[in-house]
């Protein structure tokens, strides 16, 4: 069975997300209520979360919750299809006491070599057991009582649902919560901020803000990470069985039609008047989205690509917009504005693409903008060379930015 992508029901822009959620709220409550009425004896609560970037489905998760246990299966599609199964045990107060995440084959079965992480939570620490076949490595990590485990922080929502329910029970507009991404070296504290009864948000340092839509009891109805580097939206849906879909997705991988790497790394190279220039960057795809003014907001500092910061290396001093730029390596950032676009050259390099340190900006250069004859699906940077000088070009969707360059004399 092919996954119904439901393209007509996608959240098409971050600014419309709340209105879309409100429109669906009544229908979603009715579906959840019916499911609960049909299973009163077991008090089983099942949810399906489908995560998308634009029109492309990137993850599917099924979560089953009973009073003392949470069980889930997560199917991811990039860079290739993968299946993870997890569970957590809860005490009488609803706190997670033990959790496990393990890798599965695409048919849901266990691989020949077990790969499992098991976490046991105590009053002031947790114990991580990393099981790899017959090998077990144990590590103790400081962690306050009530720490909530996480899998992929932006594609897996079963444990977030648990955290939201706990936050609603505790009350208040801001609830401090400790999270542990299973397998990581330490615990991170974050504030669950509730501005309205039906919404909450968590801001992760260096990544952005993840927003949640909730019902009155804190049950998770949907999420938006459009304000993070991951740019996903998760909706509560009921697709085909995740394991069956994993087989379908794996077949697409084998046929060369899978998602692959979402933003593959690439290098643009050119020679201007005998001097070499090189730009190292990632290439995100449009995926049916509006890019400038939405995915890349007007007036915001954009990393000029995706993932790690875009880097420019120049062999000799160059001149751009009358400014002499010394040879060396810089990170590149673009600030698109409706009234005019700016390129920033920053002295810091090697950082993640959300870590722009304005104090290290060295040059601010005006960009030329033009409408492209054809919209580009995947972002591209090019270095064009001529008999005297050259042009650095950035092109995506229907928009092109350019910066004339020449070698300093």
Give 288-308 pLDDT, tens digit per residue: 999 999 999 999 999 999 999
- If you average pLDDT over residues 86-111, what whole number do you get? 96
Q: Give the model's pLDDT for residue 152.
A: 87
Please give the residue that has the higher pLDDT: either 149 or 153.
Answer: 149
pLDDT at position 149 over 50: yes
Does pLDDT of 6 surpass 70? no
* Gap between the Cα atoms of 405 and 279, Å rounded: 14
Angle at 374 between CA 372 and CA 380, to 5 degrees: 70
Considering the domain architecture, whether residues 232 and 305 belong to the same structural domain is answered as no
> How many structural domains compose the chain?
2
Poorest-confidence range of 197-201, 387-391, 397-401? Answer: 387-391
Position of tokens 């098991």?
A: 118
How would DSSP label each residue in 41-99? TTT-EEEEEEEEETTEEEEEEEEEEETTEEEEEEEE-SSS-EEEEEEEEE-TTS-EEEE
For residue 25, pLDDT beyond 80:
no
Same domain, 209 and 281: no
Does residue 57 sit in the same domain as residue 124?
Answer: yes
Instruction: Confirm whether 293 is domain-assigned.
Output: yes
Give me the mean pLDDT over the 188-215 stretch: 92
Q: Is the residue at 129 inside a domain?
A: yes
Q: Are residues 52 and 20 in the same domain?
A: yes
pTM value is: 0.83
222 with 351, same domain: the answer is no
196: Cβ–Cβ under 8 A, 6 or more apart, which residues? none
Predicted confidence (pLDDT) per residue in 251-280, tens digit: 999 999 999 999 999 999 999 989 999 999
In a domain, 399, yes or no: yes
pLDDT digits (tens, 9 = 90+) for 49-90: 999 999 999 999 999 999 999 999 999 999 999 999 999 999
Over 60: is that where the pLDDT of 154 sits?
yes
Q: Could you tell me the two tokens for 58?
A: 């990137």
258 falls within a domain:
no
**Could you tell me the pLDDT band of residue 334, with boundaries at 50, 70 and 90?**
very high
Query: Does residue 257 fall inside a structural domain?
Result: no
What is the pLDDT at residue 402? 98
Per DSSP, the chain holds a count of helices (H) and strands (E) of 3, 24
Whats the size of the chain, residue-wise? 409
Residue 125 · residue 143 · CB < 8 Å: yes
Cα separations in angstroms, 336 against 105, 153, 197, 237, 312: 44, 29, 35, 35, 19
Phi, psi of 241 (to 5 degrees): -55, 130
Of 252, 285, 312, the last residue of a domain is 252
Q: Tell whether 314 and 226 lie within a shared domain.
A: no
13 has a pLDDT exceeding 60:
no
Mean pLDDT of the chain: 89
- Give a yes or no: residue 131 inside a domain: yes
User: Are the beta carbons of 201 and 209 closer than 8 angstroms?
Assistant: yes
Query: Residue 260: inside a domain, yes or no?
Result: no
Give the model's confidence band at 43: pLDDT under 50 very low, under 70 low, under 90 confident, else very high.
low
What are 96's two structure tokens? 């997670």
Q: Are residues 94 and 173 in the same domain?
A: yes
Q: Inform me whether the pLDDT recorded for 30 exceeds 60.
A: no
| Residues 31, 172 within the same domain | yes
Is residue 162 located within the same domain as residue 49?
yes
For residue 16, the model assigns a pLDDT of 46
d(C-alpha 265, C-alpha 400), whole Å: 20
* Bond into 79 cis (ω within 30): yes
Percentage, residues of the chain above pLDDT 90: 81
On whether residue 343 sits in a domain, the answer given is yes
pLDDT-wise least confident of 38-47, 108-117, 174-183: 38-47
Residues 275 and 244 in one domain: no
- Out of 19-23, 325-329, 351-355, give the one with best mean pLDDT: 325-329
Residues 329 and 192 in one domain: no
Check residue 216 and give its pLDDT. 87
Q: Which domain holds residue 201?
A: 7-252
């Amino acid at each position: 069975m092919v996954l119904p992508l439901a393209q007509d029901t996608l959240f098409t822009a971050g600014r419309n997300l709340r209105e879309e959620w409100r429109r669906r709220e009544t229908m979603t409550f009715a579906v959840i209520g019916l499911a609960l009425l049909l299973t009163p004896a077991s008090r089983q609560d099942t949810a399906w979360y489908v995560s998308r970037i634009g029109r492309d489905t990137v993850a599917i998760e099924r979560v089953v919750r009973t009073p003392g246990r949470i069980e889930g299966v997560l199917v991811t599609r990039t860079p290739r299809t993968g299946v993870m199964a997890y569970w957590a045990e809860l005490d009488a107060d609803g706190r997670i006491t033990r959790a496990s995440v393990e890798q599965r084959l695409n048919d849901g079965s266990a691989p020949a070599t077990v790969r499992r992480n098991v976490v046991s939570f105590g009053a002031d620490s947790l114990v991580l057991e990393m099981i790899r076949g017959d090998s077990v490595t144990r590590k103790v990590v400081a962690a306050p009582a009530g720490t909530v485990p996480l899998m992929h922080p932006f594609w897996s929502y079963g444990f977030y649902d648990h955290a939201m329910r706990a936050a609603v029970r505790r009350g208040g507009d801001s609830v401090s919560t400790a999270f542990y991404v299973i397998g990581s070296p330490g615990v991170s504290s974050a504030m669950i901020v509730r501005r309205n009864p039906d919404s909450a948000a968590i801001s992760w340092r260096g990544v952005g803000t993840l927003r949640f839509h909730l019902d009155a009891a804190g049950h998770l109805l949907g999420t938006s990470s459009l304000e993070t580097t991951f740019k996903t939206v998760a909706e509560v849906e009921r697709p085909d069985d995740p394991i069956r879909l994993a087989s379908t997705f794996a077949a697409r991988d084998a046929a060369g039609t899978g998602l692959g790497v979402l933003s593959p790394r690439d290098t643009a190279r050119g020679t201007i008047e005998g001097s070499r220039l090189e730009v190292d960057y990632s290439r995100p795809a449009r995926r049916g989205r509006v890019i400038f003014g939405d995915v890349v907001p007007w007036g915001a500092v954009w990393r000029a690509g995706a993932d790690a910061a875009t880097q420019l290396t120049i062999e000799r001093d160059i001149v751009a917009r009358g400014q002499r730029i010394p040879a060396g390596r810089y990170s590149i950032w673009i600030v698109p504005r409706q009234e005019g676009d700016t390129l920033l050259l920053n002295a810091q390099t090697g950082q993640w693409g959300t870590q722009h340190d304005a104090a290290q900006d060295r040059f601010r250069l005006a960009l030329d903008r033009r409408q492209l004859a054809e919209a580009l699906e995947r972002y591209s940077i090019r270095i064009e060379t001529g008999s005297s000088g050259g042009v650095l070009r950035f092109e995506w969707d229907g928009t092109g930015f350019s910066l004339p360059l020449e070698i300093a004399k």
